[in-house]
Every structure is written in structure tokens, then in C-alpha cells.
Chains A and B, each alone.
Chain A
Amino acid sequence: MKLAYWMYAGPAHIGTLRVASSFRNVHAIMHAPLGDDYFNVMRSMLERERDFTPVTTSIVDRHVLARGSQEKVVENIHRKDKEECPDLIILTPTCTSSILQEDLQNFVERASLTSKSDVLLADVNHYRVNELQAADRTLEQIIRFYTNKEKNSLNIKPTKTEKPSANIIGIFTLGFHNQHDCREIIRLLNDLGITVNEVIPEGGLVTNIKNLSKAWFNIIPYREIGIMSAKFLEKEFKMPFVSITPMGLVDTALCIQNIENILNNYQSNQKYNFKSYIENQTKFVSQAAWFSRSIDCQNLTGKKAIVFGDTTHAACMTKILSREMGIRVSCAGTYCKHDADWFREQVEGFCDEILITDDHTIVSDMIARIEPSAIFGTQMERHIGKRLDIPCGVISAPVHIQNFPLSYRPFLGYEGTNQIADLVYNSFTLGMEDHLLEIFGGHDTKEVITKSLSTDSGLTWSIEGLTELNKIPGFVRGKIKRNTEKYARDNSINTITIEVMYAAKEAVNT
């Protein structure tokens, strides 16, 4: 057992449901007790979905415990088959139902004999994988199922499209800015003269999975979901894939170069060269390169930041901050423990330390210890930042409704670099304001608020000391207070006077 208050990645069935409800005309039936269907609430609220979420529950209750759920599950599958006529019905176990050890595969086989829809059992272990791993697995399972089905029925050799084309694999419902990213990738491919063959799963049809092999290659924009599918397609159809996330100028360029290599590997007369495109976009279309160079951005030099999130976003953000903006990343971390090695390899050399954990209290302690000028993290880090008075830019799931913006906010591609530059810049206290606050002693004259994280036992502040403390700008006051108190405690000083404050400042500087 584990004492837990909060988790970064959800349970496995959420991943499966995200895959299922991203496709068009696919219905998921959860094998779960009453109340486990809050996925529908999340989707309806966060994504502001206009349509009913295609997820229903075959409810496990006392009756089912006593008699088994075979009839009920089969009946529910048949019912959905008739009501909605989906292409595919996915039966999804939950943590609870998986310990019942019923032969769900058998139910699925029975139901599929008489239903028009295809029926699949999501093949994930609820106690070993999380939401992201389950989504990756389920997507591969569906693609494999339809590929095999096609192979058995027709057995034709795949033909490639005439012009270069790509599949985008890994765009999901409830994904962090996924819709915007998808539009941006399509735009990027259009610029390169590459058509989009299929986007899977968001908005795609399972009946179109047979067309996947017509594309020249696959793009996997996110590390967490899609790699398994890409590897399967590579094995099955020798389809190459690009798994470099085009986030930030350097990686976007790298991604495009990879695409160039893939296209040039195909036997064709045309040779592709995207060098001038990259150059033009980097220097003149995207504003990010110029922004980093502009004098305004100088003020960010050497400021400390902390990055935490899923592997894709945390790794890319770390590289952008340190490589493209000259900000010092004191710590980069991820909650994707299952992919820790990849993450380490990515951020090695771009940050001072690496943190792999899914315990938010460890992240919180780390932030309190390092006291960065800004945090780039998830919704959780935003709240930690609020408590510690440190600004936070949200860069990764899990997120709340405000991170499903209506306006165009990609993180990927060249427009993404602009968005990220804005996010980073606005997260730090603005440069000039920073200076003015320091010169004029700040504009807030509120009493010093003691924070819970500061241990102030047995220390008293002299009146002069307090007045001096109040002159310090609000956003660094907490830090100075903590440092001074630490110094006082280390030197067994009970009353903090102005002299002690200056001594503490000197001690920190040396």
C-alpha cells in the first residue's frame, strides 16, 4: 500500500478510453462498478465536447459478483451495436473488474459472433501500466487488429501514394494542446510539400487504418503514445518513422532533416533539400530566435528554472530553455518513470540535476530547496508555485480546463516556438519591472507573510530588521527571509537585526 494524495498519470483504463473516444465511431464499454465513468465528465468538461462521449459502462454490482457478468457484458455489447452501429466496440476492464478474473476475452468472442461491429478486449494490465502506457498499447492493438484483418481478407501489397505523404500518429483527446499541435504539424508538412495521409487516432476512422501503409513515413510527435504503433508499422510495412518532437527551433530543424533523409531514401528522381526552408523559418518566420537575441531576453540570462512534466514536454522544454534561451535549468524531471532512461539521455548536459518521481511532495520539496525564478511544469507545479510565490508556466499534462484554450496555441512547429517564447518570458518577472522594484524598494508594503515552508521557531525580528525586510521587493522577500533565518539559526542568533541581515547576505554571496 502507498499513501497517496495526488497522481500525475491516471489509471490504465483512462488511456484506453482516450484512444477509443479519439477515433470516430468507436465505442468503449467499461466493465466497472457504478461511478467509474467519470472519464465522460472529464471529456465533456475539459474538452467541452459537444457530443456524447462514446463510453458506457457495463456495471459490476452485487448481482454480478454473485453470478458473473457474462450475460450482462454480452448483452451490453449487442445493445450498443444496435443503438449506435459503431465500427468497433472496445471492452475495457478497470482495476476493480480485472481482479474478478472473469474471462472477458471469451465474452468478447461470443459477442463478436453476432454483432456487426468488431469487438476487441483492451489488453492492458491495470496494476502494471499507467494511462500513457495503456494508451500506447491500445493504439497498437487496434492498428494491429485492422492490419491483420486486411491481410487475411485481401492480401494485396501496399502501394505508396504518388507524392510524399505522412501519417500523424498520437493525436488524442484530452492530450495537452494536441489539436493545435496537429494543425501545426499539418501546416509544416504542407510547407514541405508532403500531404497528410491519415491522422490517428483523433478524428480518424478504424476502417481507414488499412490505408496507413500508403504513406511514405509516420510522424510520432509525442514520446509517450504512438511509438509502439510506429514500430509495428515499421516491422510490418518497412515504414520509417520520425520520432523527434518538433518542439523548439533546434529540434524542429532536426525533425525536418530527418524527414528529408527519409524522403531521399526512397527511390525517386527528385531530391529533397529543406535547408533553406529551415533557415528562413528559424530566422525570419519564427520570432523565437530573434527574441532570444534581443536585449530584453538578456535579463533572463542565468536565471534559474525548474522543469517537470511528461517526458516529451519536459525534455524539449529543458533543451529550449538552456540551449535556445540561455536560462539555467537547475533541475529537469519527469513523472514517466517507465521511460526514465530516455529522459536522462535527452536532458543530459542541459540541466544541473535530474529528478525522476511521481510523488508530488518530492517535486515540491525540490522546488522549495532550489527556489527558482520560474517553474515550467504541470497543474500541480502551478499550485506549488502559488504557495511559494514562484511563477509557473504550464507545459505538460495533467492540466485543468484553462489549458484547453479556444485560441490557437500549439507547442510544436514554428508557431509553437513563438508560443513557448511568450510563455517563458511572461513567466519570469519582467526585466525592467524587476529593476525598478529593486531600486525603489518595491511597491507592496504588506506585512511579511510567514510561509509554512519557512521554519521560524524561536527567532524574533527586531523592528529595524522587519522594516528593512519590508523594503525588499515582494517576490524575493520570502527567499531573503528564509536565508536570513537559516543564517541566524546556523550561528545561534536569536534576534535578527539589520546587521544580521547584511551578514546573512554576505554569507550567501561568499
Chain B
Amino acid sequence: MSKKILTFECETGNYHTFCPISCVAWLYQKIEDSFFLVIGTKTCGYFLQNALGVMIFAEPRYAMAELEESDISAQLNDYKELKRLCLQIKQDRNPSVIVWIGTCTTEIIKMDLEGMAPRLENEINIPIVVARANGLDYAFTQGEDTVLAAMVHRCPGKKVSSKLELPLVLFGSLPATVANQLILELKNQNIVVSGWLPSQRYLDLPKLYDGIYVCGVNPFLSRTATTLMRRRKCKLISAPFPIGPDGTRAWIEKICKVFKIIPKNLEERENKIWESLKDYLDLIKGKSVFFMGDNLLEISLARFLIRCGMVVYEIGIPYLDKRFQSGELELLEQHCALMKVPIPRIVEKPDNYNQIQRIRQLQPDLAITGMAHANPLEARGINTKWSVEFTFAQIHGFSNAKDILELITRPLRRNKNLQDLQWTKLIKSR
């Protein structure tokens, strides 16, 4: 009784995820000459301080512009206040760009950040990029999407000379090593990556012009993709994302297809990777997974795990852009047919309470979930993997497939070591 077609459900949206302002954590490290200023309240600050743990002590290049009662009630002039803080930042850190992160509060009090930024930019002579990464509209990784979409406007413009070879710009923040690996994979196919958004430095943002090809590396970048297409007239290559060897191969193939290149050695390369993963695959074959959903990587990860031989019961996901993820959804369907497993249920805006009831019923071998639920589920004998780790670990490209499985199998391996002790359920029955 396997379902044949993808179906999409939508629940209440009562789920746990990180606030999108958390994107400053990895973006300030990625863009070395930036400074991120989060304009919000104590609540935002407390979240960053707790979510980012140790990083806070490393003199980070981000700070809160903490709104006080007088700001909320408009007794103080927003412009003057922001100018004061930005001048201080300029003096202390001298960044090449200040990124203002708008939050729920600036939304509600309708602080006109987009209006103020250009004025202040002229006055203090530092570019100010505004991104509204708030919890009213977005979840977790979508924060990066809002920042990158705002940066698109700052990319230097046209310089069209030869129309013969249109260059390729990739978008999505990745650690430098991972980005280099992907660039190399494409180079092996004679494809030159002419730029990357975001770049290591703000001053090196890629050139964008009419007709240039762009391709995303992460599934949560739909706004950036739209902005690139609509505002900069870029051509989007819609492909599955380079997560897992299957995804990486499909990603490269799709790019090759667009550039009319016949890929070389790709199949061998993929097979070799699968071979190297054999030990892990033996461990997870036939095991079941439940994604509670919080970071938008879920479809790609589920697709990869199905290809690894796992059964996916449910893919929870905060938001699904079916157009941007179409390549990914297609590959998911293909894999399900190939591996002869039922198509998982895809639940947008999930309801964590209902999901926990379903987890109780299904008893999956692994639940991929946020930290709020991980310990309680473990105490009830359900193996869990903390989902946020997938956003911070290196999971892209051929060579990092091992890292994904390392993460996935860790709870299984750990609990295998402990299973003889029979201490699985550690709560008192009521």
C-alpha cells in the first residue's frame, strides 16, 4: 500500500524552531568585514546569547540595539538613536558593511529601517543593508534568505562584454572549505564559478547582470532566488541541492545540462562515495525516521536518507516553496520508487503536539527534532538527533556525505552500546 503521489498537508504552525535572527551567528563569521546589528528587545538578545552559547565570548561582530520603553513609545528619535550606535560601531570596529536585522518589534512599531538606512549610509559613509528577519514571517534558516535577498541589491552591476559564455554565480552561505569543494567539483566539469553570494568579504560581492546564471546550494533560499530573477534578471538553475552524493550529482548534472556540457565521471564518483559509506548504510538500512521540521533542510535530508535505504514516516517543514524546491521534490519521488518505499507525508507548518502523538504511535527508530523535544523523547525511549546540528555541520558535496551519516547514526550507535542495559524508558509511568 504505497502512496504514489506527493501530498502536502498543513497544520496549525504550533512548532518549535529558532528565531530567524540566529542567522547572524553564521553570517558574521562568513562575511568577515561585516557587522550585524539586531534591532530588537531583550528577548531577542537573550535568545542570541543562549542559542549561540560560547561564541558570545569571542568578541563577536554582532550586537543588539536594545529597544527601551522610550523607543517603543516614540519619545526618542529612531534615526538619531541608530546613528549614535552605528557611529560607535564604526569607531570601534570599522566594518565594511553594517547589516541591520529588523525584528518583530521593529515590524510592529513600524520602524522604517529601509527608509532610514540610505540616509544614514550617506551620513556615516558605511553601507547599511536592511534585512527583516523576524519571527512574524520567517523561521530559522529563512533569516539567511532575507539577508542574502537584501545583499542582492548591493552586488555590483553590469559589465556585459561577451555573450558567448555566461558565468555562474552560486548563492547560499557555506563554510569556505565546503564552498571550495563545490567549486572544484564544477571545475572538473569545466564550469567556472564566477562568484558566490555571500562572498568572504562584503567588498567582494559577485557581479550580477542580465542573463547571468545563478544556482542555489540550500533549500531555504527562495526569496533570494526570486530577487535574483526579478530584480537582477538572473536565470535560475532549478536543481536538487548538493546534499548527499545523489543530490550533489543531480545538482552538477543539472548545471551541466544548462551549460550544455556532458558530465564526466560523475556516476563513478557517486558510486565510489556510496561504497565508502557502506558501514553506515548497513547500520541504517530499513530503519525509520521522523522529521519534526524546523530548518527547511528536511526535504533534501529525507531524500538522501531514503536513498540510503531508510523509511521516512513524516517530513515536517516550516515552509515549502514548491517551485524553488521542485527539483528536490521530483528526486524524492524518484528515490521512493527506486527504493520501493512509501512516499512520506509532508507536513507544512506542523503542530508539535500532534506530531508527538504520531511519534508515540509510529515509534520511529529516529526522530530528528529540536532541542526542546530531544531530551523528553529520549527519556521515552525514542532515539533523537538534534536538527540544528545539520545547519552547522558541513553537509554539502560528495565528500561531506559521510558527515551527515555520522550525525544520523550517532544516536543509533550510542544507543547500541547501551542497549544491553535495558534502560530505555526513563520516566515514571503515571
Known: A2-B68, A11-B46. A99 touches B18 (CB 8 A): no
Does residue A432 face the partner (Cβ distance < 8 Å to B)?
no
> Shortest Cβ distance from A9 into chain B, in angstroms?
9
Q: Which residues of B contact A127 (CB under 8 A)?
A: 68-69, 72
A380 to B54, CA, bound (A): 10
Chain B contact-residue range equals 35 or more
Residue A94 lies at the interface, judged by CB distance under 8 Å to chain B: yes
- Per-position 1/0 for B151-170, Cβ under 8 A of A: 00000000000000000000
The segment from B132-140, B217-225, B298-306 that touches chain A is B132-140
Q: Which residues from chain A contact B19 at a C-beta distance below 8 Å? A: 33-36, 38
Of the candidate stretches B58-66, B122-130, B234-242, the one touching chain A is B58-66
Complex Cα–Cα for A61 and B376 (A) = 28
Q: Which of A1, A38, A76 contacts B85 (CB 8 A)?
A: A1
Does B205 reach chain A (CB closer than 8 Å)? Answer: no
Interface bits A37-80 vs B (CB < 8 Å: 1, else 0) = 11011101100111111001101111001000000000010000
Instruction: Identify which of A10, A34, A40, A96 contacts B108 (C-beta below 8 A).
Output: A96
Docked pose: A212 CA to B375 CA in angstroms: 33
* Given A1-B67, A49-B376, 6 other A-B residues pairs in contact with their CB atoms under 8 A: A1-B68, A6-B45, A7-B45, A13-B43, A38-B51, A50-B379
Q: Does B41 contact A (CB under 8 A)?
A: yes
B:389-419 near A, CB below 8 Å:
none
* B64 contact set on A, CB distance < 8 A: 2-5
Q: Which of B9-17, B191-199, B336-344 contacts A (4 or more CB under 8 A)?
A: B9-17
**Closest CB in chain A relative to B310 CB, distance in Å:** 26
Q: Pick the most buried of A13, A50, A383: most chain B CB atoms within 10 A of its CB.
A: A50
Is A506 in contact with chain B by the CB < 8 A criterion?
Answer: no
B379 CB contacts on chain A under 8 angstroms = 50-51
Known A4-B63, A6-B56, A95-B41: A35·B139 in contact at CB below 8 Å: yes
Query: Can you spell out 28 A-B residue pairs with CB atoms less than 8 angstroms apart?
Result: A1-B82, A1-B84, A2-B66, A7-B42, A7-B46, A11-B41, A33-B104, A34-B17, A34-B136, A35-B19, A35-B21, A36-B47, A36-B135, A38-B19, A38-B372, A40-B372, A44-B372, A49-B376, A50-B375, A50-B427, A61-B13, A62-B136, A65-B107, A95-B41, A95-B105, A99-B105, A99-B108, A126-B42
Contact B63 A5 (CB under 8 A): yes
- Return A35 CB to nearest CB of chain B, in Å: 3
A127 to B72, CA, bound (A): 9
Residue in A34, A56, A76 whose Cβ sees the most chain B Cβ within 10 Å:
A34
Interface check B172, CB cutoff 8 A: no
Contact B46–A49 (Cβ < 8 Å): no
Interchain CB contact under 8 A, B373 and A52: yes
Which one, A1, A6, A14, A400, contacts B81 given CB within 8 A?
A: A1
For chain A, residues 1 to 25, give those with C-beta under 8 angstroms from any C-beta of chain B. 1-7, 10-11, 13-14
Q: Is the CB of A128 closer than 8 A to any CB of chain B?
A: yes
Pick the contact of B65 from A2, A94, A400 — CB < 8 Å? A2
* Interface residue A83 (Cβ < 8 Å from any Cβ of B): yes
**Residue B362 at the A interface, CB < 8 A?**
no
In the bound complex, CA of A50 to CA of B88 (Å): 45
Nearest chain A residue, comparing its CB with the CB of B356? A52
The residues in B between 356 and 388 inclusive whose CB is less than 8 angstroms from any CB of A are: 356, 370-376, 379
Residue on A nearest B41 in the bound complex, by CB: A95
Contact A48 B60 (CB under 8 A): no
> Is residue B71 within 8 Å, beta carbon to beta carbon, of the partner chain?
yes
Residue B76 at the A interface, CB < 8 A? yes
Contact of B20 among A32, A35, A126, A383 (CB under 8 A): A35
Whether a CB of chain A sits under 8 angstroms from the CB of B422 is: no
User: B-side interface residues toward A, CB under 8 Å?
Assistant: 13-14, 16-21, 39, 41-43, 45-47, 49-51, 53, 56-57, 60, 63-69, 71-72, 76, 81-82, 84-85, 88-89, 104-105, 107-109, 134-140, 353, 356, 370-376, 379, 426-427
Provide the residues of chain B in CB contact with A95, threshold 8 Å. 41-43, 105
- Closest residue of A by beta carbon distance from B88: A3
Q: Cα distance A232–B49 when bound, in Å?
A: 35
Are the CB atoms of B372 and A65 closer together than 8 Å? no
- In angstroms, Cα B48 to Cα A11, docked, is 13
Which A residues are CB-close (under 8 A) to B134? 33
| A100 sits at the interface (CB 8 A) | yes
Could you say which residues of chain B place their CB within 8 Å of the CB of A62? 136-137
Choose among B14, B84, B356, B375 the residue with the greatest number of A CB atoms under 10 Å from its CB: B375
**Most chain-A CB neighbours within 10 Å: which of B39, B43, B47?**
B43
**Set of chain A residues within 8 Å of B82, measured between Cβ atoms:** 1
Kindly identify which residue among A13, A45, A51 contacts B371, using a CB–CB cutoff of 8 Å: A45
B45 surroundings in chain A (CB, below 8 A): 4, 6-7
On whether the beta carbons of B426 and A50 are closer than 8 Å, the reply is yes
When each residue 89-127 of chain A gets 1 if its CB lies under 8 Å from chain B and 0 otherwise, what string results?
Answer: 000001110011000000000000000000000000011
Q: Which residues of B contact A38 (CB under 8 A)?
A: 18-19, 47, 50-51, 372
Indicate which residue in A1, A14, A50, A100 contacts B66 across the interface (CB closer than 8 Å): A1
- A→B interface (CB under 8 Å): 1-7, 10-11, 13-14, 32-38, 40-42, 44-45, 48-53, 56-57, 59-62, 65, 76, 83, 94-96, 99-100, 126-128, 130, 380, 383, 400
- Known contacts A1-B67, A5-B60, A5-B64; decide if A100 and B46 are in contact (CB<8 Å): no
Nearest CB on B from A205, distance (A):
14
| In the complex, residue of chain A having the shortest beta-carbon distance to the beta carbon of B53 | A400
Residues of chain A within 8 A (CB-CB) of B71 are 1
Report chain B residues within 8 Å CB of A126.
Answer: 41-42
Q: Which residue of B lies closest to A386 (CB)?
A: B57
Q: Are B43 and A36 in contact, CB atoms less than 8 angstroms apart?
A: yes
The answer to whether A100 and B108 touch across the interface, beta carbons within 8 angstroms, is: yes
Chain B residues in 8 Å Cβ range of A94: 43
- CB-contact partner of B375 in A33, A35, A36, A48, under 8 A: A48
Q: Which 3 A-B pairs have the closest CB atoms?
A: A35-B19, A33-B135, A40-B372
> Which chain B positions have C-beta within 8 A of A76?
14
User: How far is it, in angstroms, between the C-alpha of A161 and the C-alpha of B17 when the chains are bound?
Assistant: 48
Identify which of B43, B67, B136 contacts A61 (C-beta below 8 A): B136
B370 contacts A41, CB within 8 Å? yes
Taken together as a complex, chains A and B put the C-alpha atoms of A38 and B46 apart, in Å, by 9
Cα A36 to Cα B137 with chains together (Å): 13
Q: With a 10 A CB-CB cut-off, give which of A11, A60, A95 has the most chain B CB atoms.
A: A95
Contact B68 A96 (CB under 8 A): no
User: Which residue of B46, B85, B370, B427 contacts A10 across the interface (Cβ within 8 Å)?
Assistant: B46
- The answer to whether B50 touches A42 (Cβ under 8 A) is yes
Return the contact of B14 from the options A45, A53, A57, A60 (Cβ within 8 A): A57
- Chain B residues near A7: list those with CB within 8 A: 42, 45-46, 49
Q: Give bound CA distance, A42 to B104, whole Å.
A: 21
- How many angstroms between the C-alpha atoms of A61 and B64 in the bound complex? 22
Q: How far is the CB of A223 from chain B (nearest CB, A)?
A: 22
The answer, among B51, B107, B353, for a CB contact under 8 Å with A56, is: B353
Complex contacts, B108 vs chain A, CB 8 Å: 65, 96, 99-100
A184 to B68, CA, bound (A): 40
CA distance A485 to B287 in the complex (A): 65
- Residue of B45, B71, B104, B370 contacting most chain A CB atoms (<10 Å): B104
A288 to chain B, nearest CB (A): 32
> Which residue on chain A has the smallest CB distance to residue B39?
A1
Q: How far is the CB of A101 from chain B (nearest CB, A)?
A: 10
Judge whether A1 and B20 touch: CB under 8 Å. no
B173 to A: closest C-beta gap in Å: 19
Q: With A5-B64, A11-B43, A38-B50 given, is the CB distance from A44 to B376 under 8 Å?
A: yes
| Most A-side CB within 10 Å, residue of B53, B89, B107, B372 | B372
Neighbouring A residues of B49 by C-beta, 8 Å: 6-7
